[in-house]
């Protein structure tokens, strides 16, 4: 291996070996380090005013203080995402010793982070001193003047907006047009983008006999392409969607990804598998968990549901949602 550009544009080399980085222990069985020692690269001591040598300030060996600051600054939900990402990537590493080294390295950033990442990987507890005594190991760490900085996290930032947010409107034959028209128009006026998603392309018939043009199907446009979901009322439409596995999966996946969901009247049937219902009073707007709105059509026509839905969309995601891990999506 001569460089780190195995997947670079116009590369024609057929690389041998399983590693694309160095130093490594899988290429030749020995480690290669640039440390100026006997086994590493050495600069030629050309006679000048002073010898040419490789020396750096000890601060160059501080690789973890900024990472620690970043980790400490994240919200609980963001820390969970970081841990999940490390677990996923390291679970793809075949060699347990390399998984162990990576987790040992994370322990320099934060011991709790490393312990959480290591838990499902079938390795030992992380040890930040595991590399002590090995060639090239240098232990140096500066003290951060700031323990955490809210500017480094994505959550909690003010000024959310619905502009350019994509909203999926789930429809089938028999959908109630009045609820679609009011909420869709309010969303468009606020700068959002609305798309009708149905079991098939072409058109669907509303309860009043009007034809609505369909933009996408559940097969060609998954929920990950949208920021929020609107499920209008209509008994026939709700029954058809509840009987379609792709539609149920669409809603459950959006729920699992903590996106805003608004269901009107019978549209709430798609959320019954989550244990949510509108209750005995249909005139109420129910919020069973963060970012989920169950409403009656009469409230929709008043405009209050549109405002609540847009306020939820402006927050983008709702990390405090109930039973997310139980969703099979």
- CATH number (domain holding residue 170): 3.40.50.880
Please name the residue that has the structure tokens 């028999």.
174
Select from 151, 183, 198 the last residue of a domain.
Answer: 151
Q: Please tell me the distance from the alpha carbon of residue 209 to that of residue 204, in angstroms, as a whole number.
A: 9
Q: Please tell me the distance from the alpha carbon of residue 234 to that of residue 238, in angstroms, as a whole number.
A: 6
Q: Please tell me the distance from the alpha carbon of residue 103 to that of residue 123, in angstroms, as a whole number.
A: 9
Q: Please tell me the distance from the alpha carbon of residue 173 to that of residue 189, in angstroms, as a whole number.
A: 26
| Selection from 307, 287, 299 nearest residue 186 by Cα | 307
Same domain for 138 and 178, yes or no, is no
Same domain for 64 and 138, yes or no, is yes
Helix (H, G, I), strand (E, B) or coil at 129: coil
| Selection from 186, 135, 177 nearest residue 265 by Cα | 177
Select from 91, 118, 151 the last residue of a domain.
Answer: 151
Q: Which domain holds residue 170?
A: 166-318
Terminal C-alpha separation, the chain:
41
CA–chain centroid gap for 40, Å, is: 40
- State the pTM of this model: 0.74
Same domain for 143 and 177, yes or no, is no
| Selection from 206, 256, 278 nearest residue 236 by Cα | 206
Same domain for 170 and 286, yes or no, is yes
Select from 128, 151, 174 the last residue of a domain.
Answer: 151
* Cβ-contact 237, 175 below 8 angstroms: yes
**Per-position pLDDT tens, the chain of length 329:** 455 566 667 777 777 777 777 667 777 666 555 555 565 566 777 777 777 777 777 777 788 888 999 999 999 999 999 999 999 999 999 999 999 999 998 998 999 999 999 999 999 999 888 877 676 676 666 777 778 888 888 887 766 889 999 999 999 999 999 889 999 999 999 999 999 999 999 999 999 999 999 999 999 999 999 999 999 999 999 999 999 999 999 999 999 999 999 999 899 889 887 777 665 555 566 778 889 999 888 888 788 899 999 999 999 899 888 888 888 76
Which of 240-244's residues contact partners 24+ apart within 8 Å by CB, and which partners?
240/172, 240/173, 240/174, 240/199, 241/170, 241/172, 241/199, 241/270, 242/269, 242/270, 244/172, 244/199, 244/218
Same domain for 205 and 247, yes or no, is yes
Instruction: Say if 161 falls within a structural domain.
Output: no
Q: Please tell me the distance from the alpha carbon of residue 242 to that of residue 132, in angstroms, as a whole number.
A: 59
Instruction: Say if 130 falls within a structural domain.
Output: yes
* Cβ-contact 86, 93 below 8 angstroms: no
How many other CB atoms are found less than 10 A from the CB of residue 258?
19
Same domain for 264 and 231, yes or no, is yes
Same domain for 88 and 171, yes or no, is no
Same domain for 171 and 260, yes or no, is yes
The DSSP code for 125 is: P
Same domain for 215 and 93, yes or no, is no
Instruction: Say if 50 falls within a structural domain.
Output: no
Domain count, the chain: 2
Q: Please tell me the distance from the alpha carbon of residue 6 to that of residue 21, in angstroms, as a whole number.
A: 10
Same domain for 241 and 128, yes or no, is no
* Cβ-contact 240, 266 below 8 angstroms: no
Same domain for 110 and 187, yes or no, is no
Same domain for 142 and 170, yes or no, is no
């Amino acid at each position: 291996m001569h460089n780190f550009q195995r997947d670079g544009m116009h590369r024609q080399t057929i690389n041998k070996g399983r590693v694309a980085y160095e130093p490594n222990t899988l290429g030749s069985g020995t480690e290669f380090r640039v440390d100026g020692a006997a086994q590493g690269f050495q600069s030629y001591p050309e006679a000048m005013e002073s010898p040419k040598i490789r020396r750096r300030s000890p601060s160059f060996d501080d690789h973890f203080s900024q990472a620690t600051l970043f980790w400490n600054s994240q919200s609980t939900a963001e820390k969970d995402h970081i841990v999940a990402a490390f677990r996923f990537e390291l679970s793809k590493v075949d060699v347990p010793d390399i998984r162990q080294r990576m987790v040992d390295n994370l322990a320099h950033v934060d011991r709790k982070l490393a312990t959480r990442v290591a838990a499902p990987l079938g390795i030992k507890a992380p040890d930040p001193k595991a590399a002590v005594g090995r060639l090239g190991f240098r232990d140096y760490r500066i003290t951060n003047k700031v323990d955490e900085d809210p500017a480094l996290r994505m959550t909690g930032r003010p000024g959310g907006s619905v502009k350019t947010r994509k909203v999926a409107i789930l429809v089938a034959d028999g959908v109630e047009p009045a609820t679609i028209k009011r909420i869709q128009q309010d969303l468009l006026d606020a700068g959002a983008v609305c798309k009708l998603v149905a079991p098939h392309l072409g058109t669907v018939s509303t309860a009043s006999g009007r034809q609505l043009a369909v933009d996408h199907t559940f097969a060609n446009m998954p929920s990950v392409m949208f920021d929020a979901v609107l499920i209008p009322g209509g008994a026939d439409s709700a029954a058809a969607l509840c009987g379609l596995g792709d539609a149920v999966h669409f809603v459950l996946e959006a729920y699992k990804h903590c996106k805003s969901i608004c269901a009107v009247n019978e549209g709430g049937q798609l959320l019954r598998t989550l244990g949510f219902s509108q209750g005995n009073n249909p005139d109420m707007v129910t919020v069973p968990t963060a970012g989920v709105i169950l409403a009656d059509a009469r409230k929709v026509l008043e405009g209050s549901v549109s405002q609540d839905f847009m306020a939820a969309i402006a927050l983008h995601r709702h990390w405090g949602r109930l039973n997310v891990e139980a969703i099979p999506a």
